Structure 1
Amino acid sequence: MNDVLGGGSTTHLFAAQQANRYDRQSIIRAYQEATGANLIVMMDQVFSHGVTLLQELLVDCRPDKPLHVLLSTPGGDGEVAVRLVRAMQARCSELVIIIPDMAKSAGTIMCLGANRILMGPSSDLGPVDPQFPINGRLVGAKEIQQAVEDAEKRIAAAPDTFPLYATLLADVNMLMVEQARSAMDRSYSLIEEALECSGMSSSDASTLVEKLKGPLIDEAKYHGATIGPHAARDLGLPIELCDSDSQEWQLIWALWTRYFHLGVWPNGAAIVYEGAKASQVHFNTP
């Protein structure tokens, strides 16, 4: 009877209200039984509030077992990404990040700290471009820099256009521009720090950074540029392309579709931090 009620001493109404949560957690437990690993889920922008929410999921994770992390994120703060990776690596024997859809920017930094990265054919990583929240949406540091530099050139060529560009860039101030520049300069170090979190030596991490900094930072023209599993593997990342018919991937896909139905990003309706026991699901309101 406890299974029907959600696995604990709950009322029928509470169990009904939490039925979807119990359904997702039953899939998480089935995945753990099939793989022998702990499984947690993070679907959110990468900012400091997520550190505590993620730590809540790690409390019951045995450090002598692998930790699998189902991750979906548009990115955020690379500094926080490294903190999250350090926290996860401290609670496992091996860190495996699973990407059913996308892990962009700071999410890609998190992947760099994993021992293995599991991707499907349509899974996607992206350029490491620090992001800043502006008017409810994330804007890449490189995009801020490029917009300001382009405006400066156009105003220099045609001073009478100043009011136009002042209006277009009204939400960007000099402090934000300097923060964007500093964040871009720090990107190389963040990539190296994340790689070292996986246990890679400093010399090996430095060598791989030299290979990654072009595709992930310098040559990336657009924040939303795609880096699929084959391209990521060619860069030297520990990519494993999952068999879509395997039990492991079928469970992951069953779980992902339930979160997708909740309305996870890009529309940002739901923020999810969930494991077999702990569960935090928050819904953004307009």
Structure 2
Amino acid sequence: MDFLALFWLFIIISSIQPLIRKKMLDSARIKLLELIEKKRGSRVIALIHRQETLSMLGFPLMKYIDINDSEQILRAIKLTDKDVPIDIILHTPGGLVLATEQIANALKKHHAKVTVFIPHYAMSGGTMIALAADEIVMDENAVLGPLDPQIGTKPAASILSILNKKPIDKIDDETLILADVSQKAINQVKNVILRLIEGKINNAEEVAEKLSSGIWTHDYPITVDEAINLGLPVSTEMPNEVYQLMALYPQTAQRRPSVEYIPLPRTKGERTSEE
């Protein structure tokens, strides 16, 4: 076989390798989802966002909750009998308000128990989806995030604060318009939160105010302890299968990994190969 033939064989193998790897990952994910469904007697839906890379070009793509996600999840809920519990495995930085509200409202209306599993984080819109659940299962180090609206790249609460810091005649028209929109956005989000949590926790009004009013920065991590103190229905009984599923959604490959370790359990008193 000459060099040119070897070159084209290498190109062909390099081209189809990502497709083969993707098919293998997809198959492994489906098998694990089926295992969890059989074990828990539920419909399992995974909403997992990683930074992915285009197969051929290697460009990173940031993933977030979008309309396609809401369409798929609403379809999955429609295909689920009203008496069948729903389990959502959630890992997301947030996303579009419209898509997030559609998902949360659909989960809220489901007759059977809804459980959200958060192995690492569910920020912003992810937190809104979690609030729609009857139970939120978090890893002990996982976090939620505030739901304060963002107007463009600016926090709505910060825009509103300008009205209290400057005379009205010193504020330009555009800022006044943004402040009006900000107040409406905060009120809307607060009402959505109230609708999702009313009847599930006693201090619903207080929780809705804290999550929507901007007392924290938008990326503030709400820990398990803080979530419990807020009165949210949180537990830390995370099934091991959820972690196994997360491993089947690998982060973008890098030339040099940032974190390395031997992927085996390590117990106290265990002898190493050097001893």
| TM-score tier after normalising by the smaller chain length | 0.5 to 0.7
1:257 paired to 2:272: no
Give the aligned partner of residue 85 of structure 2: 66
Give the aligned partner of residue 70 of structure 2: 51
1:97 paired to 2:116: yes
The amino acid that maps onto 2:142 is: S
Distance in 2 (alpha carbons) for counterparts of 1:133 and 1:19: 39
Give the aligned partner of residue 106 of structure 1: 125
Structure-2 change in CA distance of 1:175 and 1:29 (3 Å): farther
1:19 paired to 2:24: yes
Counterpart contact for 2:137–2:237, Cα < 8 Å = yes
Structure 1 residues 137-156: aligned runs within 5 Å: 140-143=155-158, 145=160
Unaligned runs of 5+ in 1: 1-12, 163-171, 264-286
Cα shift at 1:47: 4.4
Give the aligned partner of residue 120 of structure 1: 139
Structure-2 change in CA distance of 1:72 and 1:151 (3 Å): farther
SS in 1 for 2:249: helix
Cα shift at 1:30: 1.3
The C-alpha deviation readout for 1:227-286, integer Å capped at 9, x for no partner, is 11121111111101125xxxx2x21011113224258xxxxxxxxxxxxxxxxxxxxxxx
Root-mean-square deviation (CA), in Å? 3.4
Cα shift at 1:190: 1.2
- Highest relative contact order (Cα 8 Å, sep 6+), 1 or 2? 1
Give the aligned partner of residue 234 of structure 1: 229
Distance in 1 (alpha carbons) for counterparts of 2:119 and 2:39: 18
Cα shift at 1:55: 1.9
The C-alpha deviation readout for 1:105-125, integer Å capped at 9, x for no partner, is 222222221100000011111
TM-score normalized with structure 2 length: 0.66
Give the aligned partner of residue 195 of structure 2: 193
Unaligned runs of 5+ in 2: 1-17, 50-63, 254-275
Percent identity, aligned pairs only?
20
Counterpart contact for 1:188–1:209, Cα < 8 Å = no
1:209 paired to 2:211: no
Cα shift at 1:226: 1.5
Counterpart contact for 1:145–1:181, Cα < 8 Å = yes
The amino acid that maps onto 1:87 is: A
Counterpart contact for 1:75–1:131, Cα < 8 Å = no
Counterpart contact for 2:155–2:214, Cα < 8 Å = no
Structure-2 change in CA distance of 1:43 and 1:120 (3 Å): same
The amino acid that maps onto 2:91 is: S
Cα shift at 1:14: 7.3
Counterpart contact for 1:96–1:114, Cα < 8 Å = yes
Counterpart contact for 1:62–1:91, Cα < 8 Å = no
Counterpart contact for 1:118–1:242, Cα < 8 Å = yes
The C-alpha deviation readout for 1:60-81, integer Å capped at 9, x for no partner, is 3232211000112222454543
Structure-2 change in CA distance of 1:219 and 1:56 (3 Å): closer
1:30 paired to 2:35: yes
Give the aligned partner of residue 84 of structure 1: 103
Q: Which has the larger radius of gyration?
A: 2
Distance in 1 (alpha carbons) for counterparts of 2:175 and 2:249: 36
The amino acid that maps onto 1:122 is: N
Counterpart contact for 1:63–1:90, Cα < 8 Å = no
Aligned residues between the structures: 221
The amino acid that maps onto 2:224 is: P
The C-alpha deviation readout for 1:148-196, integer Å capped at 9, x for no partner, is 669979xx6xx9xx9xxxxxxxxx9776554333111222211111124
Cα shift at 1:218: 3.6
| Worse-superposed segment, 109-118 or 176-185 | 176-185
SS in 2 for 1:261: coil
